[in-house]
Structure 1
């Protein structure tokens, strides 16, 4: 499904309280996990040592860092919503974030988003988006939360 195109506050406002859509599924690989570990200096064996994770871990394999799954949100979000006519966008915050289910290596995940609320604050649009990261084949999502974005649309 193509992304929803948003070019103004009024475009966004039409979706208030509605689901915006879902991204494509994206596979989390061991290579991505290892690169994330390098970037963040988080080399906990449950993420980076497949043999030890299989032998001693609670999940039978390595799992993605929770913050790795969160860090792919911008990539997945752009598959759901194509925001145009922007001067600036700011990731303003996250509320009620809960990591509910580990993402095993080679799992496929997708982002599902619903516009919880939207308000125009004198030209800056504050959008609160309920998200969940679904794991293909699992009932329980990897995480749920509310992302807060600030959009400043061009008036040109």
Structure 2
């Protein structure tokens, strides 16, 4: 879990980097489990031999939505928690772009920049975080997105 801070200090962080996560390996086992969960069995994800022969990737790649779905794990360990927040929920994403496929076995990490923080009511904060999922040793990220989170205070 990220460092705890009060709301006033958090609001001052708009425009700054909140943190960079540890590396996370997306392996074939995780890709296969995601394929089972989503019923997306396209060969580029689950058939290493065919993907090696028939794609420019040299093997299987993670689903774009799998890349997106590792963000909560990476955020939980990296982004600050807000003192007094009863809960925080996903509000959605804007401008999701999948830029580079994540090949099986590659490591990814997330970079979070607080772009905007708006009090929707005295007990509701909407935060927009510019999120980049980087791939180790790749010049372009796996994805970029504006991640929206709603924080509710007691």
**CA deviation map 1:12-66 (0-9, x unaligned):** 2021110111000000000000000000000000000001011111211100000
Q: Kindly report which structure 2 residues correspond to 1:1-156, keeping only aligned pairs within 5 A, or say none.
A: 3-6=2-5, 8-84=6-82, 85-122=84-121, 123-154=123-154
> CA separation in 2, counterparts of 1:4 and 1:101?
31
Q: Give the paired residue count.
A: 152
Q: CA RMSD in A?
A: 1.3
Distance 1:128 1:113 in 2: 10
In the superposition, the TM-score normalised over structure 2's length comes to 0.94
Unaligned stretches of 5+ residues in structure 1: none
User: Which sections of structure 2, spanning at least 5 residues, go unmatched?
Assistant: none
Structure 1 residue 3: Cα displacement: 3.0
In structure 2, distance between residues paired with 1:15 and 1:34: 38
Structure 1 residue 121, shift from structure 2 partner: 1.4
Following superposition, the deviation at residue 139 of structure 1 comes to 1.1
CA distance in 2, matches of 1:71, 1:64: 11
